[in-house]
Amino acid sequence: MATTSTPPPKTEPPAGSAGGTGSTSLDKYFHITERGSTVRTELVAGVATFLTMAYILFVNPAILGTIKDHTGVGLPFDQVLTV
């Protein structure tokens, strides 16, 4: 004897819950809550990514500028940053 069960219906978090409102234009456009995230989480992740990339813009030239070629000449920071 086999029994079948139906999956529980999907429920949206209430509008005032801490999990996100679900009524923001960002959420409507990107379907953030439908994908299991919140607008706040996505914004924090975006800011963290931006800050990481901004940090790398200055760290890479500093590292590359310390390397000398076979004649002992290194690249100036401003030139490496520009390239």
Domain-located, residue 47: yes
Angle at 64 between CA 63 and CA 65, to 5 degrees: 90
Mean pLDDT calculated for residue range 41-67: 93
Domain-located, residue 52: yes
Give me the number of domains the chain comprises: 1
CB of 75 closer than 8 Å to CB of 64: yes
Domain-located, residue 6: no
Domain-located, residue 62: yes
Q: Name the 3-class secondary structure at 81.
A: helix
Q: Which domain holds residue 30?
A: 25-82
Q: What is the pLDDT of residues 13-52, one digit of tens each?
A: 545 445 544 468 989 999 999 999 999 999 999 999 999 9
Alpha helices in the chain (DSSP H): 25-30, 39-65, 77-82
pLDDT at 2: 62
Calpha distance 1→81 (Å, rounded): 71
Domain-located, residue 14: no
N-term to C-term CA, the chain: 71
Q: Read off the pTM.
A: 0.57
pLDDT at 48: 98
